[in-house]
Amino acid sequence: MLLAEPPRCVTSVSPSDRGLQRAARTAFLQPSRGGLGTSTPGALLAACAAVSMHSWGRARRKACRRAEEEHREPDIKTIETMMKFSNQYAKVSKTNYCADKSVPAVVIVGLALHKETLGAPLCPCRHYEDKEKEVKDGYWNCPCVPMRERKECHCMLFLTDDNPFTSDCSHIDLEEILKMKG
């Protein structure tokens, strides 16, 4: 089955059909078919299979892989590596962590995930159109250029003494991170 025009992305599905929600985010249907609202689960699967066969399938598979990577958990060893890096950098740069320990915990886990999936600790607090390109550019790889040049951390991981959210602590333990992570 060949599609005559580029498909549009379907972004909604019945809340009761949890199994199809994930597929629907990246499934593509022809506009002439009325979208997901009038489709059955079988039609959705057929549309997904048809798109996979077409040239848009590669982009769809890449989007699916990226979505799966964003929702997976990094390995504890990688979290520990990023924790050690963060503790050392906070010490060297004479900065402290946020008073709310969940902030550095979440940021460190995000850095660890990007380290595993992208090969570099890309800032997890920003939206990127193309993460691979951003990693190559290096501007937002932790510590990012604003942090290195002006001690301005967008993530609030490394805070200077004049920041109202700073604590007097420049060290976080793995147990604290895992506890905050959930």
Active site residue 155: no
Give the active site residue among 98, 125, 144, 153.
125
Q: At what angle do helices 174-181 and 76-93 cross, to 10 degrees?
A: 120
Cα–Cα distance measured from residue 169 to residue 97, given in angstroms and rounded to the nearest whole number: 6
Of the candidates 22, 180, 23, 26, which has an alpha carbon nearest to the alpha carbon of residue 110?
A: 180
C-beta separation of 137 from 155 below 8 A: no
C-beta separation of 123 from 140 below 8 A: yes
Tokens for 97, please give them: 């962590």
Cα–Cα distance measured from residue 68 to residue 57, given in angstroms and rounded to the nearest whole number: 16
DSSP annotation of 141 reads B
Per-residue CA distances from 3 to 50, 51, 54, 141, 168 (Å): 8, 8, 8, 40, 60
Partners of 96 in beta bridges:
159
| Residues with catalytic roles | 125
